[in-house]
Amino acid sequence: MWTLADIPDQTGRTALITGATSGLGLVVATELRARGATVIVAGRHPSPVARRIGGVPLPLDLADLASVRAAAAAVDRPIDLLVNNAGLMIPPYGLTVDGFEQQFGVNHLGHFALTGLLLDRLDGARVVTVSSNAHHGGSLDFGNLDWARDYHPMRAYRRSKLANLLFAFELGRRCPGLTSVAAHPGAARTALTRHSPWLFRFVTSPRTRKAFDWWLIQSAESGALPILRAATDPAVAPKSYFGPDGWHEFTGRPVLVEAAPAAHDEALAARLWEISQRMTGVCWPARAGMLTDGP
């Protein structure tokens, strides 16, 4: 069974991790740095964490495409590992700076744009996109991507997490020069759950740990294991998807898991890709290394 002890030495590798200032991203950044990687800590306020773990700060707000462009432009070195980890989960309705529904805008469009803008520095790299088991209930309504009508926080979250997987698998098809994989953490105790209904907050309360830990919810350290395996296991194949092996994939050790059939729909992925290009203004080339940036 794969554990932290199986992470190989990371000396000489450069890893960029979004949302690395807290939760799962912070665990991933800390573990990679401890094994010798140069870690670029990407987030809205990255400097304190970067100083603490010995990383490189990179200001990044995925809800603002101007910030995404500035962050990408500031990366002045090849990237061996990109972990698209940052995200929002079931907040009240809101829009990004650019007018996108915020879960779709941050979880999918921000990472779509960042990865595209970094493409010329990702030759031979591994890209890990963090999804959720909630994607199994997700669907795409291209006529209502901004949720201008009938907004439902969980349905919007599921949509964004399905988009993450469609992107990860399509990236592997379009850019065979890199290794695109995905992971989900199961149910992890992080600040991501702050907008959850009262029942989930009860389950995640420190007062109920003895009743629910290890089968219904786990620590951020355990939730990060599928991401770390996807990021570092030398045997990982392109388009792999990792998650916990426990009941309903809520908790457990990191193993290969199955994505919903919709996540493997190539026609759906291609349509999402083209629409994402139009929404972000980041146009991907037919071949890696020839990125154009425009509407």
DSSP one-letter code for 235: T
Neighbours of 134 (CB within 10 A): 18
Q: Which of 93, 151, 157, 241 does the annotation list as catalytic?
A: 157
Q: Please give the order of strands across the beta sheet that includes 254-256.
A: 56-59, 38-43, 14-18, 81-84, 126-130, 179-183, 241-244, 254-256
Q: Which residues contact 198 (CB under 8 A, 6 or more apart)?
A: none
Q: Which residues contact 111 (CB under 8 A, 6 or more apart)?
A: 18, 62, 84, 86, 129, 164, 167
* Helix, strand, or coil (residue 246): coil
Quick check: is 157 catalytic?
yes
Catalytic residues: 157
